[in-house]
């Protein structure tokens, strides 16, 4: 690919690359086979393998050499979005579209009676990453747009999945009747994962949540929940509400506090704690991720991240707004761009995050000072088309064992390497398991 002009104020051309000198692409693998024409989605990592979701299933990448990754296996199992999470030797695949059945040989279903349509969680055994084996399915109300792993406490040899789903239609839908103000909690016994089942469907918003407004989504479910199990808390991005939960009782999360932004936030999309769990970064997926919102017309506060400090203790904790962060570059009007999925970079004493912005690329930014966040690196491709708005770009960009892995919706896998004095101490941090929605204290890595 061609290198774009060095001037950050000049957007790169079609398929050109633009970046700061401290962030470089070190590997690229295009989508192949049955996934070439369907969207890439989220990541999970275990050991020397990266598991990349795709609307047609998931790909297993061998990343023993991050600069020369290879495709180790592909599992064809259609169903949007097919976000992935991993615990032990189990992989969980989330389906948020009504299917004819719960097997991997299925099709989209809108004609069958609602009770005969399937959506929810599929469980795979990845003891051998080269041959994942289908174990079990669990049907959930309204499907699984995202799922969050929460390990059981003490002697509870289980893992719990907080299954987030929502109803954007604001009307009763097959498999997703209103009021949809709940999540599904799936318990997976680790010794007998085939016994996995829904054990609770707690109502999180007994008052119905935010009713919505002009350009703002009502709360009819949650899009994403990020748990910090060591701290017994979770942060929910629930369409019209940002939420802090107490999850000390794994099957009965309790709302500690709720915040709303009726000026700039359109759709509360995801959340990330800092390592000390004293802050939360919420993302706003303005336009559903399909619009060209990183331009001067939209401005710096809409479609941005919002940084909140957690103040107080226990049940009296509150979320206090500090600032917004948005990439400081104007994209073209043919590039979908808005805050999307990212993770912390394990730099002791600093709050630094890598984040995907669709066709806005990959941004590395520092929010140690909650009131003055700043970008320290970026990498991006130019638009897919110079004349037509085409959905694409980085869906998820996560730090894992010294490298940044980006799952590009239409292009494939990008591996980036960051070389910066502010983050170089993270090069040697190592973990054997990474799920972005289940945060670990990286001091223990």
Per-residue pLDDT of the chain (445 residues; tens, 9 = 90+): 556 555 566 889 999 999 999 999 999 999 999 999 999 999 999 999 999 999 999 999 999 999 999 999 999 999 999 999 999 999 999 999 999 999 999 999 877 777 788 999 999 999 999 999 999 999 999 999 999 999 999 999 999 999 999 998 888 888 899 999 999 999 999 999 999 999 999 999 999 999 999 999 999 999 999 999 999 999 999 999 999 999 999 999 999 999 999 999 999 999 999 999 999 999 999 999 999 999 989 999 999 999 999 999 999 999 999 999 999 999 999 999 999 999 999 999 999 999 999 999 999 999 999 999 999 999 999 999 999 999 999 999 999 999 999 999 999 999 999 999 999 999 999 999 999 999 999 998 8
User: Which residues make Cβ contacts (< 8 Å) with residue 421, sequence separation at least 6?
Assistant: none
User: Which residues make Cβ contacts (< 8 Å) with residue 61, sequence separation at least 6?
Assistant: 29, 49, 50, 51, 52, 69, 70, 71, 72, 413
Examine residue 8 and state whether it is found in any structural domain, yes or no. Answer: no
* Extended beta strands in 102-232, E state: 120-125, 133-139, 146-151, 158-164, 184-189, 197-200, 224-228
Q: Residue 69: what pLDDT?
A: 98
Examine residue 275 and state whether it is found in any structural domain, yes or no. Answer: yes
How buried is 140 (Cβ within 10 angstroms: 0-12 exposed, 13-18 middle, 19+ buried)? buried
Q: Residue 7: what pLDDT?
A: 59
Examine residue 7 and state whether it is found in any structural domain, yes or no. Answer: no
pLDDT digits (tens, 9 = 90+) for 82-93: 999 999 999 999
Domains held by the chain: number: 1
How many Å apart are CA 363 and CA 294, to the nearest integer? Answer: 13
Examine residue 5 and state whether it is found in any structural domain, yes or no. Answer: no
- The answer to whether the CB of 225 falls within 8 A of the CB of 203 is no
Range of the domain at 61: 17-444
How many Å apart are CA 289 and CA 275, to the nearest integer? Answer: 27
Q: CATH code at 156?
A: 2.130.10.10
CA 119 vs CA 20, 94, 134, 172, 174: distances in Å: 42, 8, 16, 16, 11
Examine residue 3 and state whether it is found in any structural domain, yes or no. Answer: no
Q: Which tokens sit at 98?
A: 């009504």
Q: Residue 10: what pLDDT?
A: 83
- The answer to whether the CB of 335 falls within 8 A of the CB of 393 is yes
How buried is 374 (Cβ within 10 angstroms: 0-12 exposed, 13-18 middle, 19+ buried)? exposed
Examine residue 118 and state whether it is found in any structural domain, yes or no. Answer: yes
Q: Residue 2: what pLDDT?
A: 59
- The answer to whether the CB of 60 falls within 8 A of the CB of 47 is no
- The answer to whether the CB of 372 falls within 8 A of the CB of 365 is no
User: Which residues make Cβ contacts (< 8 Å) with residue 257, sequence separation at least 6?
Assistant: 243, 244, 317, 318, 319
Q: What is the DSSP letter of 241?
A: E
Examine residue 122 and state whether it is found in any structural domain, yes or no. Answer: yes
Examine residue 4 and state whether it is found in any structural domain, yes or no. Answer: no
């Amino acid at each position: 690919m061609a290198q774009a002009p060095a001037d950050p104020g000049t957007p790169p051309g079609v398929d050109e690359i633009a970046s700061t000198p401290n962030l470089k692409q070190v590997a690229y693998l295009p989508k192949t086979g049955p996934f070439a024409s369907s969207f890439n989605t989220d990541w999970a990592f275990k050991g020397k393998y990266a598991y990349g979701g795709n609307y047609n299933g998931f790909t297993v990448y061998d990343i023993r050499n991050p600069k020369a990754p290879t495709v180790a296996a592909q599992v064809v199992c259609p169903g949007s979005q097919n976000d992935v999470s991993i615990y032990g030797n189990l992989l969980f695949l989330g389906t948020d579209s009504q299917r004819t059945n719960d097997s991997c040989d299925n099709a989209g279903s809108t004609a069958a009676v609602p009770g005969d349509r399937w959506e929810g969680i599929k469980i795979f055994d990845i003891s051998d990453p080269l041959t994942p084996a289908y174990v079990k399915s669990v049907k959930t109300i309204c499907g699984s747009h995202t799922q969050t792993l929460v390990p059981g406490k003490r002697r509870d040899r289980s893992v719990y999945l907080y299954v987030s789903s929502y109803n954007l239609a604001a009307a009763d839908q097959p498999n997703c009747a209103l009021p949809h103000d709940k999540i599904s909690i799936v318990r997976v016994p680790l010794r007998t994962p085939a016994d996995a089942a829904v054990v609770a469907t707690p109502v999180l918003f007994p008052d119905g949540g935010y009713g919505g407004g002009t350009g703002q989504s009502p709360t009819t479910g949650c899009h994403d929940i990020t748990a910090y199990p060591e701290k017994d808390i979770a942060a929910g991005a629930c369409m019209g509400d940002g939420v802090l939960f107490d999850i000390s009782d794994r099957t009965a999360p309790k709302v500690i506090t709720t915040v709303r932004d009726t000026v700039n936030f359109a759709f509360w999309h995801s959340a990330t704690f800092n390592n000390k769990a004293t802050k939360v970064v919420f993302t706003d997926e303005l336009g559903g991720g399909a619009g060209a919102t990183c331009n001067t017309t939209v401005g710096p506060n809409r479609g941005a991240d919002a940084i909140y400090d957690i103040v107080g203790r226990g049940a009296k904790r509150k979320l206090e707004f500090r600032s917004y962060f948005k990439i400081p570059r104007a994209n073209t009007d043919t590039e979908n761009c808005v805050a999307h999925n990212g993770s912390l970079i394990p730099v002791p004493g600093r709050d630094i995050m890598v984040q995907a912005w669709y066709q806005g690329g990959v941004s590395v930014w520092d929010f140690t000072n909650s009131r003055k966040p700043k970008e320290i690196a970026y990498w991006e491709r130019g638009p897919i088309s110079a004349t037509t708005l085409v959905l694409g770009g980085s869906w998820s960009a996560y730090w894992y064992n010294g490298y940044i892995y980006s799952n590009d919706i239409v292009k494939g896998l990008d591996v980036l390497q960051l070389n910066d004095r502010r983050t170089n101490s993270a090069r040697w941090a190592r973990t054997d398991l990474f799920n972005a929605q289940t945060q670990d204290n990286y001091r223990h890595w």
